[in-house]
DNA sequence: TGGTCATATGACCGTCCGGTCACACGGAGG
DNA sequence: CCTCCGTGTGACCGGACGGTCATATGACCA
């Protein structure tokens, strides 16, 4: 939790420090990220950082929280914008396209997402991942429930399993195009937008098809 | 690549160093893992480590490679043991149970798997993940092709998409029960064996059901 | 016995780390 | 004009790091 001093700072100074911290932690991770570098890049004395935060972990926690709030705010229209006028699989693919486009254009948020997903220290990971996961769950579950309400997903669809799979998958989808060696087999890297959209559909299809209530979502089985 | 001196060492000494390195890297990751600690725990002078490996990265690369070989050797019976006498979904759930049980009993291999999956430095990650992924792909693709050959998966099943999803999922399944805060929504932690098996089925079902060729794998759709 | 050589050792090096602290600065209130 | 206090600063601290190297050890052979 930042100190009262932090809240009295000019927005410009706060933003410079936040950006420098996102950049450093997002590039090197928590434990390897350097407060010296953050202070230098922000144009601020290192001692000042300790006037705003109680220490390295406090700063990283703040960075992770702010980042997840920004990401969530950007995705909100897709989370509560489903009304059943298009089929749910298409809506989900559209949302994932927006998800990928967002991270393609926001290297800072992408880096912090990588850092929070790759942290080894259990104490740090718990401080970061649990609230972030809660944010994602609170947005995704209503979306799936809405899909059941509109009749796009079957009433007996296993929402818990679907949610767990999506939560594992989402960070990988966000990072794969920009993090070489992470999940090279995912067919989303270095391709045109139409091919990427098609491939997103190929990844989502097996997840959703079995729970789809509308016939048009289910391909004809071979005899 | 280890030096010739390493290969001339007594197996006991090699094993002590390998175990200490697996433990340290598996607990703290590559960049935070300490050669001082490895040398101390192995009962060996730090200078000796530099007689066996050219540096920290060389040692970690060796550790990751040995670990993936051990894991692969243990899973081999499940990878080429599918002959179609049971349906493929059941075989896959059986294999995943073996996968989870293996990592439950092998904290060293589990730690190294975590370390290789959570490494931030791109150079280190590429040195480690690419060959490891290649090992997994070389074992999993023939298994899926075998399932197509026996008629358990449809001939038009999207094997590339399935493989990509499995490759993303496998490390998470291995680590979730022992790495708090990693993927808490995955329903595999702190439960009895039968419940865990049932939940594994719930996770695999949406992945495979749409591509299954046998009717018994596909639940009755609601009208 | 004396010499050679592969190996083992740990003190030591330069560097960087997170964190501290004595001090400088400047606007507000007397 | 002086004092105070919130704020900004960077030199400094103890410690840990990866890596080096002069020296010690001991097996083997002449």
- Tens of pLDDT, residues B8-28: 999 999 999 999 999 999 999
Hey, what are B65's tokens?
């490679």
Residue A73 lies in a domain: yes
Each residue's pLDDT tens digit, A186-210: 999 989 999 999 999 999 988 887 7
Residue A178 lies in a domain: yes
Residues of B in contact with A183 (CB under 8 A): 133, 164, 167-168
Contact criterion met (CB below 8 Å) for A133 and A197:
no
> Is B110's CB less than 7 Å from nucleic acid strand D?
no
Average pLDDT score, chain A = 91
Give A217's pLDDT tier (boundaries 50, 70, 90): very low
Give B115's pLDDT tier (boundaries 50, 70, 90): very high
Cα separation of A98 and A92, whole Å?
10
> What pLDDT score does A214 carry?
57
Residue listed under structure tokens 């991270």: A103
Segment B74-96 shows an average pLDDT of 92
Q: With an 8 Å Cβ cutoff, are A210 and B203 in contact?
A: no
Residue A161 lies in a domain: yes
Contact criterion met (CB below 8 Å) for A57 and A124:
yes
From A219, A48, A68, A89, select the one nearest A137 (Cα to Cα). A68
Segment B179-201 shows an average pLDDT of 91
Contact criterion met (CB below 8 Å) for B108 and B23:
yes
> What pLDDT score does A208 carry?
84
> Is A155's CB less than 7 Å from nucleic acid strand D?
no
Residues of A in contact with B118 (CB under 8 A): 117-120
From A219, A221, A215, A206, select the one nearest A92 (Cα to Cα). A206
Residue A133 lies in a domain: yes
Each residue's pLDDT tens digit, A85-126: 998 999 999 999 999 999 999 999 999 999 999 999 998 998
Question: Considering chain B, what percentage of its residues have pLDDT values greater than 90?
Answer: 72
Count of CB pairs separated by less than 8 Å, A with B: 162
Examine the pLDDT at B37 and tell me if it is beyond 70. Answer: yes
Give B206's pLDDT tier (boundaries 50, 70, 90): confident
**Side-chain half-sphere CA neighbours of B176 within 13 A:** 22
Q: With an 8 Å Cβ cutoff, are B120 and A28 in contact?
A: yes
Q: What's the domain count of chain A?
A: 1
Question: Considering chain A, what percentage of its residues have pLDDT values greater than 70?
Answer: 95
Residues of A in contact with B111 (CB under 8 A): none
DSSP one-letter code for A43: T
From B122, B132, B15, B1, select the one nearest B58 (Cα to Cα). B1
Contact criterion met (CB below 8 Å) for A84 and A152:
yes
From A22, A16, A27, select the one nearest A60 (Cα to Cα). A22
The CATH number of the domain holding residue B186 is: 1.10.357
Examine the pLDDT at A37 and tell me if it is beyond 80. Answer: yes
Hey, what are A207's tokens?
């997840």
Residue B91 lies in a domain: yes
> What pLDDT score does B214 carry?
57
Residue B125 lies in a domain: yes
Segment B94-98 shows an average pLDDT of 95
Contact criterion met (CB below 8 Å) for A109 and A67:
yes
In this structure, how many other beta carbons lie within 10 angstroms of the beta carbon of residue B142?
14
Higher pLDDT among residues B151 and A60, named by residue: A60
Give bridge partners of residue B153 from the DSSP assignment.
B212
> Nearest by CB to B206, which of A122, A126, A162?
A162
Residue B90 lies in a domain: yes
Each residue's pLDDT tens digit, A3-30: 999 999 999 999 999 999 999 999 999 9
Examine the pLDDT at A221 and tell me if it is beyond 80. Answer: no
Taking the alpha carbons of B192, B193, B195, B196 in that order, is the dihedral positive or negative? positive
3-class secondary-structure state, position B80: coil
Cα separation of A109 and A122, whole Å?
22
Give bridge partners of residue A153 from the DSSP assignment.
A212
Each residue's pLDDT tens digit, A127-150: 888 877 888 888 899 999 999 999
From B168, B94, B88, select the one nearest B136 (Cα to Cα). B168
pTM: predicted TM-score of the whole model, two decimal places: 0.92
Domain range for residue B195?
Answer: 63-208
Residue B6 lies in a domain: no
Segment B199-210 shows an average pLDDT of 86
> What pLDDT score does A52 carry?
98
Contact criterion met (CB below 8 Å) for B15 and B47:
no
Cα separation of B23 and B33, whole Å?
9
């Amino acid at each position: 939790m930042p100190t009262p001093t932090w809240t009295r700072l000019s927005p410009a100074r706060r933003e410079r420090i936040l950006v420098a911290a996102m950049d450093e932690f997002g590039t090197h991770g928590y434990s390897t990220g350097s407060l010296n570098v953050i202070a230098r890049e922000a144009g601020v004395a290192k001692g000042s950082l300790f006037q705003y935060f109680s220490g390295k972990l406090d700063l990283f926690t703040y960075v992770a929280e702010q980042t997840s709030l920004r990401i969530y705010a950007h995705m909100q229209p897709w989370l509560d914008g489903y009304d059943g006028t298009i089929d749910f699989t298409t809506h989900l693919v559209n949302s994932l396209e927006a998800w990928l486009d967002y991270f393609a254009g926001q290297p800072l948020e992408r880096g912090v997402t990588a850092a929070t997903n790759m942290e080894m220290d259990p104490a740090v990971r718990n401080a970061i991942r649990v609230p972030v996961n809660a944010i994602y769950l609170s947005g995704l579950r209503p979306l799936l429930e809405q899909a059941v309400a509109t009749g796009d997903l079957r009433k007996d669809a296993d929402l818990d399993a679907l949610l767990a799979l999506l939560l594992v998958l989402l960070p990988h989808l966000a990072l794969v195009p920009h993090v070489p060696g992470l999940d090279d087999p995912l067919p989303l890297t270095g391709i045109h937008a139409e091919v990427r959209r098609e491939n997103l559909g190929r990844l989502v299809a097996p997840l959703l098809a079995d729970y789809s209530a509308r016939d048009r979502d289910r391909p004809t089985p071979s005899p």
